[in-house]
Amino acid sequence: MALRRILRIDNPDDKKILTTRCHPVRMPNPSLKQLVADMFETMHAANGVGLAAPQIGITQRLAVISIPPTVEERPDGTKVEVAPEQNFVLINPEIIKASDQEEVALEGCLSLPGWYGEVPRAAWVTVEYTDLNGRRQRIRRATGLLARALQHEIDHLDGILFTERIRDLSTLKDYSEEMAPAAAE
């Protein structure tokens, strides 16, 4: 595995790649396993929830997402994992259904570290994709962080940056000196 450099929105050369619509991945593709391992390692090292191939300079329709486990604290102070970590490898993903209802939340991006803005997203989405074994999969009515991450990463594959989704740019702020309000995607 290897850490890859994450391209930045504020670098003009990087931004050209980040705003490019990506090409479909051809399957089968044996080299994907190493690339996916590198993407997960790079994403985790940057404390991210998702990473799309164009963020490491590869204009292919490939993204990884890692939703952290849900942990609840009991009255006695012990912590219990109530939902396990969820990892997704999304090859040629597409949103096939989306809620008409929107949710606005602070969102960040590994390509603009420390910066967060209020981004409206569909409250739920259904996504079809190919997994690493070449099988078609469907995530039905994803909500919460997974829905937001899916929309964010698929936007990357379409050359759309999260900053373009912000309706009120005054909400875009640098939180790097403070505690980050949410995980970056």
pLDDT at 10 over 90: yes
Tokens read off for 52: 């799309």
Q: Is residue 2 part of a domain?
A: no
Per-residue HEC secondary structure of 19-42 comes to CCCCECCCCCCCCHHHHHHHHHHH
- Among residues 36, 38, 34, the alpha carbon closest in space to that of 46 is found at 38
Span 52-68, mean pLDDT? 98
Separation CA 60–CA 49 (nearest Å): 19
Q: Is residue 180 part of a domain?
A: no
How far from the centroid of its chain's Cα atoms is residue 154's Cα? 8
pLDDT at 36 over 60: yes
Q: What is the phi/psi pair of residue 168, to 5°?
A: -120, 95
Q: Is residue 30 part of a domain?
A: yes
Q: What is the CA radius of gyration of the chain?
A: 16
Span 106-117, mean pLDDT? 96
Span 5-28, mean pLDDT? 97
Cα maximum dimension of the chain: 53
**Residue 181 vs residue 105, higher pLDDT:** 105
Separation CA 13–CA 15 (nearest Å): 5
pLDDT at 67 over 90: yes
Residues in Cβ contact with 149 at an 8 Å cutoff, skipping those fewer than 6 apart: 49, 50, 65, 67, 185
**Weakest-pLDDT range from 21-25, 118-122, 170-174, 181-185:** 181-185
- The pLDDT assigned to 139 comes to 98
Q: Is residue 116 part of a domain?
A: yes
Q: Is residue 29 part of a domain?
A: yes
Range of the domain at 106: 12-174
**Residue 183 vs residue 47, higher pLDDT:** 47
Averaged confidence pLDDT in the chain: 94
**CATH code at 148?**
3.90.45.10
pLDDT at 8 over 90: yes
Q: Is residue 4 part of a domain?
A: no
- The pLDDT assigned to 182 comes to 52
- 105-123 residues labelled b (16+ CB within 10 A) or e (exposed): eebbbbbbbebbbbbebbb
Separation CA 179–CA 96 (nearest Å): 35
Residue 179's pLDDT band, with cuts at 50, 70 and 90, is low
The residues that are catalytic are 153
Look at the chain and count its residues. Answer: 185
Q: Is residue 182 part of a domain?
A: no
Provide the CB-side half-sphere exposure for 141 (13 A, CA): 2
- The pLDDT assigned to 178 comes to 72
Span 133-161, mean pLDDT? 97
pLDDT at 184 over 90: no
Q: Is residue 142 part of a domain?
A: yes
